[in-house]
Structure 1
Amino acid sequence: MSILASQTHHADNGPADATNWWRQAAVYQIYPRSFADSNGDGIGDLKGITAKVPYLKDLGIDAVWLSPFYPSALADGGYDVDDYRDVDPKIGSLADFDAMAAALQAAGIKVIVDIVPNHSSNRHAWFLEALAAPKGSPARQRYHFRDGRGEHGELPPSDWTAAFGGPAWSRVDDGQWYLHTFTPEQPDWNWDNPEVRADFLTTLRFWADRGVDGFRVDVANLLVKDLPAELPSKQELDAMDRASGTHPLMDRDEVHEIYAEWRKVFNEYDPPRFAVAEAWVETAERRAKYASPEGLGQAFSFDLLLADFNAAQFRTIITDNLDQARLTGSTTTWVFSNHDVTRHATRYGLEPLNGRPGKPGVDWVKAGGPREALDVEGGLRRAKAATLLMLALPGSAYLYQGEELGMHEVADIPAGRRQDPSFFRGAEYDGLGRDGCRVPLPWEPSGPSFGFGTNGAHLPQPDWFAEYAASSQEASDTSTLNFYRQALALRHELQGAETLEWSGSGDEQVLHFVRPGGWHVVANFGTAAVELPDGKVLISSGGFQGGKLPGESTAWLRA
């Protein structure tokens, strides 16, 4: 394989320092209720996370992102927040949070918390106040309340549908309706209201004052809404341009005025607090606005998550995202799995996404996830190759709990045990909802919950979890867990300036690039073995023999 430089991507920033630690960080997402249960009630908790700090330190991550742990009725997995400045008693207390954060930070791990600014829960004190207040009251103006249509207001203000299915409006006792983009238990805030804006600044300071290092901002593109007296129909809404900053419900330009206010708060601290936007927007240019240094500073890219295991797709996505990061001065993010999508080891074990309708895994999940229909070994092999490639890229790498164990999606969850509102309300998130990627982790190969706790788990764990137990993998040099540990340790050792130089391979199934210091990365997306360039192989997802890299594998080399 020849090494012919064809294109270079770079940013001006050097290695991370105390302020810029996030630029090339490896961030591990924890879904708290499914990570570790310290008291045997079947629900993961903050003390469970604290007990696993040695495991997280050994993994080699730079930061932990905690999905919501706030008081909640769990209408949407904790994203229906009752109180933004407290901890759900079922998973701990503020004292438990402080102890957990101190333990993580003592281990050199930053703490990122999830902020949910588009909506509260219907149990939030301000929403309860709104329900008790009359029409047109200041309490109701914190949300989006409207009179209905029809002779007696019996019809909702519009025919819009919610993200999880069903109408986007719910009626209250006095006949008015309120808007909820998601479930009825998640009323949307009115961000034109100065009280709402001020209260969220208080929340940001509350957690920053407790030492939190950063924030992940849920559906950051949905906050600002333009709701005229005559609302458009769903058909009219669907036909509107989503890339101009003028859509009534999403990605409006005015949302960046909010994040400019947040940035001022972040910059009150030394070092400044970090934030990353979850913003599903139409174009890279629109996404870049959220990554502005005057705003949140970074925004998730889900492009690789939506791609097939395909060399051409990966190269285009990597090139485009690095170009965008260079223009904004931010760094891009790389992610394959999270709490909202089918695990990537499973996606890569099914038919490709692109070139066919629907999403990968939908039919498989609907059928109950038959193991015989899944290429279990091939899916994991491709997932490890993709992950090793991703960990070598400039930018932040976001990992989801359990992927370091090589876990697959759990599809055969009985209807009576499911929790995701998208299942109950008819929305098809990866077939039957998102519960399959939220099943509690297996820490031991046996026991009532495979070591998650002492008395079962809130979502059922399949028997095959025994094969993925963390304790068993720790003892095996060839395990997926130790592969992740080795890769993350090398990543820290090798990282330098945010540069990437593509090298020609002469094979359309192979991607080859070079990072500073002679760090070569070769990813073979084909099935036949390929020649490796000269150099010392540091790690390979699929081994190597006779100077060749097997199919569906990635290797790092030092020239």
Structure 2
Amino acid sequence: MAHTAPESTVRPDPNWWRHAVVYQIYPRSFADSNGDGVGDIGGIRAHLDHLAELGVDAIWINPWYPSPMKDAGYDVSDYRDIEPIFGTMAEAEALIAEAHARGIRVIIDIVPNHTSDQHRWFKDAVAAGPGSPERERFIVRDGRGEDGAEPPNDWMSVFGGPAWTRLTDADGRGEQWYLRLFAPEQPDVNWSHPDIHAEFEETLRFWFDRGVDGFRIDVAHGLVKDPSLPDLDGLGFPLPDDTPDGVDHPHWDRPDVHEIFRAWRRVADSYEGARAFCGEIWVGRDARLAAYLRPDELHTAFNFNFLMAPWLPGPMRTVIDRTLDAHASVGAPPTWVLGNHDVCRPVSRYARPQDLLKPEDRFLSDFLPFPADFEVGLRRARAAALLSLALPGGAYIYQGEELGLPEAEAIPREALQDPWAFGTNFENLGRDGCRVPLPWTASGDTFGFGPIGGEQPWLPQPEFFGRLSAAAQEGDPSSTLSFYRAALKARAGNPALGDGGMTWVDAGPEVLAFTRDPGFGCWVNFGPEPVALPAGAEPILSSGAPIDGGLLPSDTAVWLRLA
């Protein structure tokens, strides 16, 4: 039986997720409407026209649920309400309606791997004691060693240190341990328990009933754990493509995770209109990523291999080819992404010497040792954006990319808030640099992020943000904001772009070039010297200065109308 939801003015399109350009909103840092220094739903509503003029098809909003904010909202204490810092349920419902009125779909985050330690279920589990039914909803075990004083196994937290935290009884004596692959305040739930399945399926329905168009699934590859909890014994992750059959990681990318998403797909498909999922799936094996995108599972997944590829033609083409092949094997569209709230911004990544980087580099700490040329970084980031928007499938834009923002690389240590920084004793400076609040105006004490006279933003903004603000770029045809608007307008109006196929063209070792039917070409020059474009081709849009004399400059992409 199909469910209905509040009436939407979004244009009906059962395949919107196959070609959509989605804009990611990190609500703490988008816009502050009430002057408390933290972005909120009111701020998003106030800037919906910015997003409509930009030309995006959908927005994805990071967690807006009640949370103690030990990990910026990814420690959820209630999945069916709104965090008061961000606003109210009425405001959230108004935002959905107002976005739909502008033709913009709304995707929200869901965090199914772990809850907050303040979630009612975890508080019940702690209070109930060892052996209780309440503890079975989480992964709680006796410790090893004398008096159980050692963690149950050698698993490590993503944020650094052991992945286990020991509970204490009423007298302060140590007792059992609970698994938390992230922060101590984020206990992993036990997906072998039927209550967990029922709780999250009901949460999906709760928000679908309020009109949301889809979910981005946090840590989608991590929900199921090997119940025997074996030691890792040095086993790393992600596992490479040549890993022998039958070798699986004990807590990442477990085969049983797929049945969870088959059940979720049945929930989504029970609603009228196309409701879609996008998985945050970090896996090394292309075939394993594709397995999540089979027709009865998730619709899309973030393409992190593309995000992490250096600005070099060989590695970039390899990633594109492998992505297209893997997705074609299951009939799914690729989803191209250059940045998000977890990785160093593309302007700063591309500003470094690309041949010196390691394949796994994605945090600010990975790039700081290398000299940076931010003019080069911006030029490459704009070219990469034009490339990603021309490839088959959909694309994501992280807030601020349309302004060409670099990473905030000089946040004082005392201002950092990311648990990744604290968990690694600042060896990894964390993700705060890409989360700094946006600049909307060229002047003012918060560059328009908050109202005049309000509190300072929750993270400090660099002084140079003013000249990169939306207001400073407005009306400048050469600005990054104008470039993004032009790119999305041209993409929406070109029948060759979005879902479909492509054909590579041999244009030399420093160039990636391809065509798409009907009559479209994309040329990207990675080399140091200008290269000739095909005779008779008419430029549609360049990532840099207008094309002169049929030559494509270094670190520049161009869309072409082919003869």
TM-score by shorter chain over 0.5:
yes
Preserved contact between residue 308 and residue 359 of structure 2 (Cα < 8 Å): no
**Higher RCO (C-alpha 8 Å, min separation 6):** 1
- Partner of 2:281, secondary structure, is coil
SS of alignment partner, residue 146 of structure 2 = coil
* Residues 178 and 187, structure 1, Cα contact 8 Å, conserved in 2: yes
Report what 1:155 is aligned to. 150
Q: Identity percentage over the alignment?
A: 49
Question: Given that residues 245 and 252 in structure 1 are in contact (C-alpha distance below 8 angstroms), is that contact kept between their aligned partners in structure 2?
Answer: no
SS in 2 for 1:272: coil
One-letter amino acid of the structure 1 residue matched with residue 139 of structure 2: H
Q: Which residue of 2 aligns with 1:299?
A: 301
Between the aligned partners of 2:462 and 2:522, the Cα distance in structure 1 is 36
- Structure 1 residue 366 displacement after superposition: 5.5
Structure 2: how far apart are the matches of 1:480 and 1:468? Answer: 9
1:469-491 CA-partner distances (Å, limit 9, x unpaired): 10111121110000000000000
Match of 2:445 among 427, 445, 448: 448
**1:555 and 2:562 correspond:** no
Cα distance change, pair 414–237 in 1 and its aligned pair in 2 (3 A): same
1:87 aligns with 2:82: yes
Query: Aligned residue for 2:401?
Result: 403
The aligned counterpart of 2:107 is 112
Q: After TM superposition, list the pairs within 5 Å mapping 1:129-528 onto structure 2.
A: 129-174=124-169, 175-228=175-228, 231-235=229-233, 237-238=235-236, 244=246, 246-352=248-354, 356=358, 359=361, 362=364, 373-426=371-424, 431-454=428-451, 455=454, 456-496=456-496, 498-505=500-507, 507-528=508-529
AA matched with 1:391: L
Q: Is the 8 A contact 2:238 2:282 kept in 1?
A: no
The 3 A distance-change label for structure 1 pair 240 and 284 is closer
Task: Measure, in 1, the Cα distance between the counterparts of 2:90 and 2:505.
Answer: 52
How far did 1:235 drift?
A: 2.0
| 1:504-559: CA deviation from partner (whole Å, max 9, x where unpaired) | 21x11111111112011111111211111222211101221111111111111112
> Do the aligned partners of 2:239 and 2:285 also contact (CA within 8 Å) in 1?
no
Aligned partners of 2:553 and 2:168: how far apart in 1?
65
Secondary structure in structure 1 of the residue aligned to 2:168:
coil
Q: Deviations along 1:120-155, whole A, 9 cap, x unmatched?
A: 000001001111102111110000111112221222
Give the 3 Å change call, closer, same or farther, for CA 309–241 of structure 1 in structure 2: closer
| Contact 1:365–1:432 (8 Å) recurs in 2 | no
Unaligned runs of 5+ in 1: 1-15
- Separation in 1, partners of 2:447, 2:407: 16
2: CA distance, partners of 1:406 / 1:39: 26
The answer on whether the counterparts of 2:418 and 2:431 sit within 8 Å (CA) in structure 1 is yes
Q: Distance in 1 between matches of 2:468 and 2:482?
A: 12
- Structure 2 residue matching 1:303: 3-state secondary structure: helix
Q: Structure 2: any 5+ residue segments left out of the alignment? A: 1-10, 170-174
3-state SS, counterpart of residue 538 of structure 1: strand
The residue correspondences of 1:35-114 to structure 2 (distance < 5 A) are 35-114=30-109
Deviation at residue 169 of structure 1 after TM alignment: 0.8
Task: Give the whole-Å Cα distance in 2 for the aligned partners of 1:436 and 1:57.
Answer: 26
The one-letter amino acid of 2:445's match is P
**Contact 1:226 1:248 (8 Å CA) reproduced:** yes
Per the TM alignment, residue 37 of structure 1 is displaced from its structure 2 partner at its CA by 0.4
Name the aligned partner's letter for residue 281 of structure 1: V
Q: 1:53 Cα deviation (Å)?
A: 0.5
CA contact (8 A) 1:216 1:275 kept: yes
Deviation at 1:240, TM superposition (A): 11
Deviation at 1:189, TM superposition (A): 0.4
Counterpart code for 1:247? H
> What is the deviation of 1:326?
1.4
Rounded Cα–Cα distance in structure 2 between residues aligned with 1:213 and 1:221: 22
What residue identity is the alignment partner of 2:379? R
Paired residue secondary structure (2:502): strand
Paired AA for residue 149 in structure 1: R
Aligned amino acid, residue 254 of structure 1 = D
CA-based RMSD: 1.9
Aligned residues: 536
Amino acid at match of 1:495: P
Q: Secondary structure of the residue that 1:176 maps to in structure 2?
A: strand
Paired AA for residue 186 in structure 2: Q
Contact 1:337 1:400 in 2 (8 A): yes
Is the CA contact (8 Å cut-off) linking 2:155 and 2:163 kept in structure 1? Answer: yes
Code of the aligned partner of 2:509: E
State the distance in 1 between where 2:16 and 2:237 align.
41
Which one of 9, 14, 17 corresponds to residue 22 of structure 1?
Answer: 17
In the alignment, the residues of structure 1 paired with residue 260 and residue 483 of structure 2 have an alpha-carbon distance, to the nearest angstrom, of 42
Normalising by the residue count of structure 2, what TM-score does the alignment of the two structures yield? 0.92
3-state SS of 1:182 partner: coil
Give a deviation string over 1:52-86, Cα, whole Å, max 9, x none: 00000000001101111111111111111111111
Q: Which portions of structure 1, spanning 4 or more consecutive aligned residues, are displaced by more than 6 angstroms?
A: 239-242
**Which deviates more, 19-28 or 239-248?**
239-248
CA contact (8 A) 1:163 1:427 kept: no
Q: CA deviation at 1:241?
A: 6.2
Give the conservation status (yes or no) of the 8 Å contact 1:476–1:482. yes
**Contact 2:26–2:62 (Cα < 8 Å) also in 1:** yes
